[in-house]
Amino acid sequence: MIDTKKLKAELEDIPNDSIVLIETSAEKAMDVNLAVMKILTDKDYTGLIISASRPCKNLLVLYEKNSINTKKVMILCAVCKSQGGDAKNTERVIHLERISALTEMSISLNEAIKKTEGGKFVFIDSITTMLIYNKPNVFAIFIHSILTKMRMNMVSGLLISIENETNKDIRAEIAQLCDKVIKL
Amino acid sequence: MEKLESALNEILKTGKGNSILLELDAELYFKTIIKAIKKLQKKGLSGIYVSTQRPFKNISSLLKKEGININKIIFIDVASAASKEAQEKCKGCVHISPELDVDELVEAIYNSAEKMKGKKFIFIDSITTFALYKPISESLRFSEFLISQVKGKKDIILILNVAKDLSQKKFIRDVVMRADKTIEIKD
């Protein structure tokens, strides 16, 4: 179980265009995902999720089970296509070719940001998984580039990292780009 | 922060040792930067902030919120150029081209410094982020050139930032060898 109260309090006092790195264990990562989505969608924000850890169908089922308003969810799913699964785009899901298709991911994210009205946040789950499929330096450039774009568009961001399992150099490079690091 | 304070006092008094590599905790990175800039401004220095990590609007509004006088800072927005974003003309901001050419960047710093009267600082935030986009040789050339340019000048302080966990990188060790001081900030 994660400390939801702590997470809620931490997310409460951050400005709208902040970028937050959440470090947690592999066991707690899904709970963190659900808690973040619940807290922020309840505040009427739309979550644009880059999912490298779970297929979109599974995520949507879990969100519904946890009373998360899926109308406030847009998933950029990097899992289904690469696993040969059902990969039809819907109103709530955009399928990406694979986790290493960073240019496609960046373009799709930009389009999703532009298309989504009202308050929104980008949620990357997780940088640890994405690093398995991408060269560290290329991945760091990708993160730096999308964080810059998000900041220019006043969009908040949350990145999940699995503690002690993320490349140390890249973790430091990304942590220094963030406004806050939360350990759960 | 005390170490930085005494290093700044020494530079301003003697004009010696004016290139500093700051090793910052990655988790407290931005908070520490704010403290460092406040310290520099308190000593009456104007500055050039080379921002490779954050676009101009973000960095300038955050510093302003923290009570820093951004009218005494010229920002060179490397972050927007690196991510190939459209660059809006803004007061107090200098843009460079997306190629991140070292010579162009040095020229932008030099021209900005020329516009400032009195004592000033050049704040490079950060050298490792710049190195994501450029070959190590170019990043090293950039640091070395700046260090050599400020050497012996009484009215200018060069500060190069690096996150502590990245300070063991080979090319950062090369920068450490050339800078006058390396200061690790823990608070």
Residues of A in contact with B163 (CB under 8 A): 172-173, 175-176
What does the pLDDT look like over A83-99, one tens digit per residue?
877 788 999 999 999 99
Residues of B in contact with A148 (CB under 8 A): 54-55, 79-80, 82-83, 85
- CATH no. for residue B100? 3.40.50.300
Low-confidence ranges of chain B (pLDDT < 70): 187
What does the pLDDT look like over A1-40, one tens digit per residue?
778 888 888 888 677 779 999 999 999 999 999 999 999 9
- Range(s) of the domain holding residue B6: 2-185
What sign does the dihedral A125-A180-B88-B146 (CA atoms) show? negative
SS3 B76: strand
What does the pLDDT look like over A171-184, one tens digit per residue?
999 999 999 999 98
DSSP 8-state code for residue A82: G
Which of A148, A168, A172 faces B55 most closely, judged by CB atoms?
A148
Q: How many residues make up chain B in this entry?
A: 187
DSSP 8-state code for residue B187: -
Task: Report the residue of chain B nearest A182, measured CA to CA.
Answer: B27
Domain ranges of chain A: 16-183
What does the pLDDT look like over A57-82, one tens digit per residue?
999 999 999 999 999 999 999 999 88
Amino acid making up residue A97: E
Instruction: Report the predicted TM-score, pTM, of the whole model to 2 decimal places.
Output: 0.90
**What pLDDT score does A56 carry?**
93
Please tell me the distance in Å from B110's CA to the nearest CA on chain A: 25
- CA nearest to A66, candidates A94, A92, A36: A36
Please tell me the distance in Å from A11's CA to the nearest CA on chain B: 16
Question: If one looks up domain A16-183 in CATH, what number appears?
Answer: 3.40.50.300
Instruction: Compute how many other C-beta atoms are within 10 angstroms of the C-beta atom of residue A118.
Output: 8
- Tokens at A147, concatenated: 């964080």
As a whole number of angstroms, the distance between CA B76 and CA B84 comes to 15
- CA nearest to B147, candidates B175, B173, B168: B175
Size of interface A-B (CB pairs under 8 A): 67
- Tokens at A112, concatenated: 């999703």
Instruction: Indicate the number of domains in chain B.
Output: 1
Question: Contact B125/B50 with Cβ under 8 angstroms?
Answer: yes
Contact A175 B163 (CB under 8 A): yes
A-side interface with B, Cβ within 8 Å?
Answer: 17, 137, 140-141, 144-146, 148-149, 151-152, 168-169, 171-173, 175-177, 179, 181
Task: Write down the ipTM of this complex.
Answer: 0.87
Which of B58, B85, B132 faces A17 most closely, judged by CB atoms?
B58
As a whole number of angstroms, the distance between CA A33 and CA A56 comes to 13
As a whole number of angstroms, the distance between CA A28 and CA B112 comes to 49
Please tell me the distance in Å from A69's CA to the nearest CA on chain B: 30
